Every structure is written in C-alpha cells, then in structure tokens.
A and B are shown apart, each in its own frame.
Chain A
Amino acid sequence: MNGFKPGQRVRVRAEWPERHGPVHIRTPHYVRGREGEIAAFLGVFPNPEDLAFDRPAPPLPLYHVRFRPEALWPAPVSGTEILVEIFAPWLIPL
C-alpha cells in the first residue's frame, strides 16, 4: 500500500458521518474539507471509530498533518501551524 510521504499535500475528506447516526470520529470538524501537508508518519493503530463501539478495529496508518491557519479559519488570528493526527482513510492525496 502506498503511504503518504512527508511534504505531500492532502485534503481532509469533507464528510460528516455524524449526520447518519451514532459515531465516534477523531477527525476534528475544523479540518474537514481543508488542505494541509503530511508532516510525519506516526505509525499504525487500530481504528478508534470501531474501538469506540467494541467492534473489530482494523489497524490504520496515522499521520501528523500540518495546516496553516489561513487554510482553516475565515479570519486567522495567530499561530503558524496546527498539527493534527489524522488516520489515512480521511486523507485525499492532492
């Protein structure tokens, strides 16, 4: 499987599983649909979206993704970058 590479530009899926029923999502709302870049590969971990319901949880690659404030907020106030841990299925390569 081709993993993401540091420096690679990505977009976070603009999906809202919350609409459809009880879920547990660890991709924060403020990055969904936003563009960033891969900062680092953090390892492989079981999917928390499944662990939360005691379902079998497949291991997924986890990435540190770097976002600039301008990409996230309509009127950025301060800060240089925001680093967020995001699982691979949420990321679209650009």
Chain B
Amino acid sequence: MAHTPLSAAERALLDTTPPRALFAALKKVLMEKGLIAPEEIPAQIALTERASPLIGAQVVARAWTDPAFRAALLSAPARAVEAFGVSLAGAPPLGILENRPGRHHLVVCTLCSCYPRALLGYPPFWYKSAAYRARAVRDPRGLLAEWGTVLPPETEIVVVDSTADYRWMVLPERPAGTEGWDEARLAGLVRVSDLVGMTVPALPG
C-alpha cells in the first residue's frame, strides 16, 4: 500500500487533534475494523517487558566469566544471545562493541532512538533526548564527564551512530577487584548506562 498524500482535511485532523485523543480514536477504529484485537496490546506490553537491562547485564557477566561465550558473542552476537536463552526472533541484527583498555565505545541514534530493544527493553529517556543525540557525536568525552565518567586522556572514544539496521550494545570491561565473583554478583554491577557507554561498571562506593 504505497503512501498517498493526505487530504487537507486529514492533515488538519492530524495537526489539531491532541495526540492522546488521536491515539484513542485510532485504537478504537482499528479494533472496530477488526484489524487488531483488544487483547493484543496488553499482551504485547507484557512481551516487551520481558526484555530489560538485567538481561544485558547477564549476557555481560557471562562474557566476563566464560571465554568461549565471549568469543561466540563477539563473532556471532545474535546466535550467542539466542543460545544464552534470549529470543531475538524478528529482531534487527545485533552488534557487540567490545571495550578494551584504551578503547571505549558510546552508542547513539542521532536520527531517532534505535536501540537493542529485544535484549534491553525500552530505551532510557536520556538516550532519546535531543541533547544526547546532538552531543554524543560531537563531544563524547565532555558528555561522559558530565555523568562523572572520566576516561584517561589517551583512551580512544569511538562513537557509534545507529543509522541503519544494526542495534549496538557495549561489552564493558570487567572492573578490577571482582576476581572470583559469580555471574549473578557481576551482573549486579552492570547498568543500562554501561551498556550504552555513558558509564563504566565499577565497584560500589
């Protein structure tokens, strides 16, 4: 169904109707026409919320403790994550950005809010903000510093702008002082901001 231009009346409807009322009307019409069933929306909400940063943290913790998983994650991310137990069916391709000593990654979508949702769930509010989208590609070090993330001056900062089909997640470096920790404890250190690259995991306190 190729798009046809809206009529003046349709344009006026879009421009002048408050979005919430427009959405409620849209839902009603879609259901009345049998295009969607009422239960599909709550069912989809429940499904979406099975993904979360906790899943990403668990994947990271596994990569930190299991060299074979780490290698699989870096060479074929989607397959490794599926084997880990996360369904990526229908999701866009996943890319893993490996932080190494001297090389740090920061993910942004300057055009909208592309984000590895199948793994991490809803993107954070700040990730979608105009300020983040504008500043990340231009002054990543300054942006990180605003959140207290101070990287050594010689550390390379690679900003990855998600402009097409890939969705990117950072594999942070494992912090020092965590020797012998089990996966659950390690996963507890990893926050969504670490998976985007605005912060690095560190021991609390």
Q: A residues near B, CB below 8 A?
A: 26-28, 30, 42-43, 45, 48, 53-55, 62, 69, 72-73, 77-87
Contacts and interface: CB of A to CB of B under 8 A. Distances in A.
Nearest to A25: B111
A73 B161 CA distance: 16
Interface of B: 1-3, 93, 110-111, 137-142, 156-166
A84 B163 contact: yes
20 contacts: A26-B111, A26-B164, A42-B93, A62-B164, A62-B165, A69-B138, A77-B141, A78-B141, A79-B140, A79-B158, A80-B158, A81-B158, A81-B159, A82-B160, A83-B158, A85-B161, A85-B164, A85-B165, A85-B166, A86-B164
Contacts of A87: 164
A60 to B, nearest CB: 10
Nearest to B140: A79
Contact of B163 (A43, A53, A86): A86
B93 A26 contact: no
Contacts of A72: 137
Contacts of B164: 26, 42, 45, 48, 62, 85-87
Contact of A53 (B2, B142, B160): B2
B100 to A, nearest CB: 13
A53 B1 CA distance: 9
Contacts of A73: 138
Nearest to A63: B164
Given A28-B111, A43-B93, A79 B159 contact: yes
A84 B110 CA distance: 10
Contacts of B160: 82-83
Given A42-B164, A80-B156, 19 more contacts: A26-B111, A26-B164, A28-B111, A42-B166, A43-B165, A48-B164, A54-B2, A73-B138, A78-B140, A79-B140, A79-B141, A79-B157, A82-B137, A82-B158, A82-B160, A83-B158, A84-B161, A85-B163, A86-B163
A74 to B, nearest CB: 11
